[in-house]
Amino acid sequence: MLAVILVNAVILGWATYGGSALPYLEGVEWFVIGLFVVEMFLKLYAWRGGFWRDGWNWFDFAVVVISLIPAAGPFAVLRILRVLRVLRVVTAVPQMRQIIGALFKAVPGMGTVIGLLLIVVYTSAILAQQMFGETVPEFFGNLGTTLYTMFLLMTTENWPDVSDAVLEHHPSAWIFFVIYIVLTAFIILNLVIGVIVTSMEQEFSKGRWAEDQELELVQHNAVMDRLVELSEQVRRLEDRLGAEGGDAQDGDDATAKVSVGDGGDPPSGQESSGGGSG
């Protein structure tokens, strides 16, 4: 299916050139769409209700449905979205799915940092419009123009053009530009990158952590089984020692009884003979 997706991507790109090969390309495209439909039915048959539990399957289903929309009629504009079939490469490559998943998991952290960035940009725009709006209206004439200028400064794209125009009227304005660019381009944007990198590290290490946990569980079970075996051996040794100790105690009792019998009164036969002789 990955090969089919790549072929479909080549066809979509080739079709933009038009020419005499366009009818043949459309035929191959419909053949590819047929393969996508067959794949979707096979997945639905194999997974039943479990198919809808994965968000990537929803994406594949939507792409296939869009591909079946006719090129004419009120929904013809949706045919533009057939280019989304190229994005099925993401669903076919597990490493790409991990990257996309990490990006989605980084959204909450990025939202906080981006919110801070927007606050800084908006505050700086109001401040710059009040300071430079009258002298440099082409860059700071109103709030909308100033926000766009602040965005250009943040990207450091052609920012000397803006700063030179302002410095002609405000020689000390370089302090504003330096502070703003360092704060936005070098600090806050790097925080966004840091959040994304951290999320990706967690996503890629999650699989290794699960493998480590499984290995530790196997080792733990092996150790516990060994301890149970050793405990059983110790119990058997204790039972054997107890049995041998009991036999030894019985032998000592028997010996003591014999010793007592030897040191007591003589037998009755001896007593009668002695009395007769006396």
Q: What is the value of pTM for the model shown?
A: 0.53
Tell me the backbone φ, ψ of residue 158, rounded to 5 degrees.
55, 30
Alpha helices (runs of H) in 16-79, residue ranges in sequence order: 22-47, 55-67
Q: How far apart are CA 202 and CA 104, in angstroms?
A: 12
Residue 270 has pLDDT above 70, yes or no: no
Residue 194 is predicted with a pLDDT of 85
CATH number at residue 38: 1.20.120.350
Residue 181 is predicted with a pLDDT of 92
**Domain interval for residue 133:** 94-257
Give, to the nearest 10 degrees, the angle between helix 55-67 and helix 22-47.
140
- State whether 250 and 237 are in the same domain: yes
- State whether 72 and 147 are in the same domain: no
Tell me the backbone φ, ψ of residue 121, rounded to 5 degrees.
-65, -45
- State whether 106 and 240 are in the same domain: yes
Mean pLDDT of 186-212: 79
Domain count, the chain: 2
pLDDT tens-place string over residues 110-121 = 888 888 999 999
Q: What is the mean pLDDT of the chain?
A: 80
pLDDT band of 75, cuts 50, 70, 90: low
pLDDT tens-place string over residues 1-48 = 888 888 888 887 887 787 777 788 888 888 888 888 898 899 888 988
- State whether 72 and 10 are in the same domain: yes
Q: How far apart are CA 12 and CA 29, in angstroms?
A: 8
Asked if 124 contacts 99 with a C-beta cutoff of 8 angstroms, the reply is no
Residue 140 has pLDDT above 90, yes or no: yes
pLDDT tens-place string over residues 256-268 = 555 555 555 554 4
